[in-house]
Amino acid sequence: MTFKILAISGDGIGAGKTTLANRLAPGKVRSLAAAMRTELEALYPAYDWFNKTQEYKANTLVKEFDNKTVRQVLIEYGQTRCDKDSLYWVRKLSFMILAEGCGTYAIDDVRKTCEIDFLRVFFGSVSHLHIAYEAAQLEPMFENEALRSLAEYIVEREDVK
């Protein structure tokens, strides 16, 4: 089987990672966050884990997590898995892609250097693109500078005027 993985990182939230991924691999965009949402959906099906509206994530309370908001649960659940195993989500996503079959996939939410390293070992053929965008909302958990230095391609994004 042949897989081509486009791993996309960026300077933070709103850098344009998903937009670029959709242009490079339409219909084949995957994310570490979707792997997490799939797991939460199986464990707690009463909630719409794939609803990405800010209102839903901020106002829907999850009783199984002491009435924390969906946003809080996504952050805490994801981080808890990473604290125990830093490769948990990238491994889970990689096996999900493997099960789908060969092709070109774009992963639009690479946040850590260990994720790039794992993808390269798992798939072999990985191209890492990093979006540089000054106006992106800084996300402290992203390893932005390290990811930028590892990328084969830097995409400079400018504001559309």
For residue 84, what are its two tokens?
Answer: 């125990």
What is the tally of structural domains in the chain?
Answer: 2
Please give the Cα distance from 33 to 84 (Å, whole number). Answer: 17
Query: What confidence score (pLDDT) does residue 161 get?
Result: 61
The list of the chain residues with pLDDT below 70 reads 1, 160-161
CB atoms within 10 A of CB 26: 10
Query: What confidence score (pLDDT) does residue 133 get?
Result: 94
Which of 84, 118, 146 finishes a domain? 84
pTM to 2 decimal places: 0.89
| 161 in a structural domain | no
Q: Are residues 103 and 126 in the same domain?
A: yes
Q: Are residues 103 and 116 in the same domain?
A: yes
Task: Answer whether 9's CB lies under 8 Å from 151's CB.
Answer: yes
E strands of the chain, at which residues? Answer: 3-10, 29-30, 61-62, 68-69, 103-107, 126-132, 153-156
Query: What confidence score (pLDDT) does residue 141 get?
Result: 77
Helix-helix angle 88-100:32-43, to 10 degrees: 90
For residue 6, what are its two tokens?
Answer: 């486009």
Q: Are residues 22 and 100 in the same domain?
A: yes
Query: What confidence score (pLDDT) does residue 108 get?
Result: 95
Cα 48 to Cα 61, 138, 146, 153, distances in angstroms? 11, 27, 34, 35
Q: Are residues 12 and 61 in the same domain?
A: no
Name the residue among 125, 121, 134, 130 with its Cα closest to residue 155.
Answer: 130
Task: Answer whether 42's CB lies under 8 Å from 142's CB.
Answer: no
Q: Are residues 94 and 19 in the same domain?
A: yes
Please give the Cα distance from 53 to 102 (Å, whole number). Answer: 32
